[in-house]
Amino acid sequence: MKPIYFDNHATTQLDPRVLQAMLPYFTDLFGNSASRNHAYGWEAEEAVEKSRGQIASLIGANSKEILFTSGATESNNLAIKGVAEMYAEKGNHIITAATEHKAVLDTCKHLEKKGCRVTYLPVMGDGRIDMEMLQSAITDKTILISIMYANNEIGVLQPIAEIGKLAKERGVLFHTDAVQAVGKVPVNVISDNIDLMSITAHKMYGPKGVGALYVRRKSPRVQLTAQLDGGGHERGMRSGTLNVPGIVGLGEACAIAKAEMAEESKRLSGMRDRLRAKFESALDEVFINGSMEHRLPHNLNMSFAYVEGESLLMGINDIAVSSGSACTSATLEPSYVLKALGLGDDMAHTSIRFGLGRFNTDAEVDYVADKLISVVKKLRELSPLYEMVKEGIDLSKVQWTAH
Amino acid sequence: MAYSDKVLDHYNHPRNVGSMDKSDSAVGTGMVGAPECGDVMKLQIKVNPLTGIIDDAKFKTFGCGSAIASSSLATEWLKGKTVDEALAIKNTDIVSELALPPVKIHCSVLAEDAIKAAITDYKIKQGADVAALAQAH
């Protein structure tokens, strides 16, 4: 039996309706949307334009403001590098946050080597940025603020509308990596004053390998320096033959999300809250990481104190989730997102991220809760830390032998 | 990551989990590692004063499956050995017995450190010279 999938922040299962919409574009309707001279090209172009409209409609944009990419990593690179190059004469300062995805952080680090100055805002204990710090970080050299809509580990929503309003007042462009939020919570580029926004299909029940970048066309008209040279597709901002089946899938995923978001988010937040309540009633010393008030409906990130994350995952190998533990990451460092919240390494090592999704059921929530509770109890029997805490020892006062 | 059958066996059926009275003069306690590193091992031995043989060994470990398995295995190996024989247990023996991958070698090192720390604690209780012990190890 395959494990129960509770890792929907990593990726989501393709919705069968999305697959159905895509299939003809692999076979009969195989044309290149840039072929202007025959029906094959026209059919493909029509499908691409329909998708653009579906995406635009979900986020309150005009379809001309949507350009297609290979996914959010490319969208983030194009937005940030494209702005940095295009607006280099205006300034060289970028503001972002410590909890951003690596696709944003590493892009900023790359630009620092090219002469840009980057401010990495810390976050507060609840995972949100401090608006006053953002305000005072802006200088006359600031050209871009890049702050994610919702975090991929803790699901915390940033004050996007406030950031957008501030950016507009100060004449600074505002980019947001919205891959975790679009299709899950209402996102509107007009009311949020967003200038650039990264989207990917596979986080919203669409296919992998396709994404989009929203680029505002009016007040202000945002320009980007292209990062790929070639045929000048996508208004010259992103060359390369369009991935028509993928684009059709992204559009369909957006249309489904728009129709079902309200009901789906209610269902998922109900399941999430039940999962949390079960943990909290059965176990002591469990902690929520990040704000519960400003949070995606389908995210739960909890630390099960005194139980190391990887050993916990080993005990629940019929459940697919992620841990902030160093042992589960390639870098052997615990989650930098959790550390940015002020969590000690010890608590970061004990964290588990649950990402619920469209295809999860109530029965799965019950199973996951019961299984996790029993494994945590078993591992706490094994944990010298839990024993010491129960004896009344303050772990922060113990002289550990670091190694 | 795929775990070896032996690691899985120790994780699913850890041997000798528990705690002994730290103040007992026949008990040596070793606690190594740190919570912020993601692993802490507590290993205890109980030495028979007449024979000098380790009669009992217990452990508790906060850490990944390989850390749990390394300390569980260590307690199995310790029982029935003299203190000097126990000192001869090397982390590489644990690595090969559990088929630990390179990224998990530190778990075996920690287990060896825990054994040595427990024996040191026992010897101190028996009146050994702390400075001399430090030099010996």
Residues of A in contact with B35 (CB under 8 A): 344-346, 349, 385, 395, 400
Q: Is residue B65 part of a domain?
A: yes
CA angle B124, B127, B131 (to 5 degrees): 60
B132 domain residue, yes or no: no
**Cβ(A67)–Cβ(A55) below 8 Å:** no
Nearest-angstrom CA–CA distance, A59 and B90: 61
Average pLDDT estimate for A301-326: 90
pLDDT of residue B25: 93
Q: Could you tell me if the ipTM is greater than 0.95?
A: no
Shared domain for A141 and A24, answered yes or no, is yes
pLDDT tens string A328-368: 555 557 889 999 999 988 888 899 999 999 999 999 999 99
* Position A199 in a domain: yes
Contact (CB<8Å) B63/A402: no
Residues of chain B with pLDDT under 50: none
Asked whether A249 and A21 are in contact (CB, 8 A), the reply is yes
Q: What is the reported pLDDT for A33?
A: 96
CATH of the domain at B104: 3.90.1010.10
Over chain A, what is the mean pLDDT?
95
* Alpha-carbon distance B36 to nearest alpha carbon in chain A (angstroms): 4
A402 is a domain residue = no
State the Cα–Cα distance between residues A361 and A115, nearest whole angstrom. 50
Pick the last residue of a domain from A221, A238, A257.
A257
Q: Does B121 touch chain A (CB under 8 A)?
A: no
Mean pLDDT of A126-140: 98
A146, A207: one domain: yes
Residue A5 resides in a domain: no
Residue A163 has which token pair? 């950031």
How much is the pLDDT for A326? 61
Residue A75 domain flag: yes
CB-based contacts of A394: which residues, under 8 Å, 6+ apart? none
Task: State residue B2's pLDDT score.
Answer: 78
Average pLDDT (A185-191) is 98
A2 occurs within a structural domain: no
Q: Is B62 on the interface with A (CB under 8 A)?
A: yes
Q: Is residue B91 part of a domain?
A: yes
pLDDT for the residue A348: 86
Partners of residue B103 in chain A, C-beta under 8 Å: 332
Q: Supply the pLDDT for residue A324.
A: 78
B107 is catalytic: yes
Task: Specify if B73 maps to a domain.
Answer: yes
Residues 6+ apart with CB under 8 A from A228: A238, A239, A240
From B46, B20, B41, B19, select the one nearest B30 (Cα to Cα).
B41
DSSP assignment, residue B82? B
Question: Would you call B42 and A384 a contact, using CB atoms and an 8 Å cutoff?
Answer: yes
Find the domain containing B59 and state its range.
Answer: 5-126
pLDDT of A327 over the 80 cut: no
* Domain containing residue A345: 261-393
With respect to residue A372, please indicate whether it lies within any of the assigned structural domains: yes
Instruction: With respect to residue A401, please indicate whether it lies within any of the assigned structural domains.
Output: no
Q: Where are the beta strands (DSSP E) in A105-215?
A: 117-121, 142-146, 173-177, 196-200, 211-215
Residue B24 lies in a domain: yes
Q: What is the per-residue pLDDT for A68?
A: 98
The structure tokens 């040191």 sit at B120
Q: Out of A257, A276, A304, pick the residue that ends a domain.
A: A257
- Tell me the percentage of chain A whose pLDDT exceeds 90: 91
Query: Given A257, A286, A318, which residue is the final one in a domain?
Result: A257
Asked if the structure places residue B11 within a domain, the reply is yes
Contact A387 B60 (CB under 8 A): yes
The domain tally of chain A equals 2
In a domain, B131, yes or no: no
Q: Do A384 and B34 touch (CB under 8 A)?
A: no
Mark yes or no for CB contact A402/B106 under 8 Å. no
To the nearest whole angstrom, how far is the Cα of A311 from the nearest Cα of chain B?
4
Please give the angle made by the CA atoms of A86, A90 and A92, to the nearest 5 degrees.
80
Same domain as A158, residue A243: yes
Both A246 and A102 in one domain: the answer is yes
Tell me, yes or no, whether A94 and A212 share the same domain.
yes
Nearest neighbour of B38 by CB, restricted to A308, A314, A382: A308
Q: pLDDT value at position A323?
A: 85
Q: Which residues of A touch B65 (CB under 8 A)?
A: 310-311, 314
Q: Clarify whether residues A316 and A245 are in a common domain.
A: no
The per-residue pLDDT for range A206-245, each reduced to its tens digit, is: 999 999 999 999 999 999 999 999 999 999 999 999 999 9
Share of chain A above pLDDT 70, in %: 98
The total number of structural domains that make up chain B: 1
Q: Would residue A399 count as lying in a domain?
A: no
Residue B136 lies in a domain: no
Q: Does A75 lie in the same domain as A139? A: yes
Catalytic residues of A: 327
CB A173 within 8 A of CB A195: yes
A296 and A251, same structural domain? no
- Cβ of B40 within 8 Å of Cβ of A385? The answer is yes
Same domain, residue pair A90 and A165: yes
Instruction: Give the model's pLDDT for residue A178.
Output: 98
Residue A267 and residue A222 share a domain: no
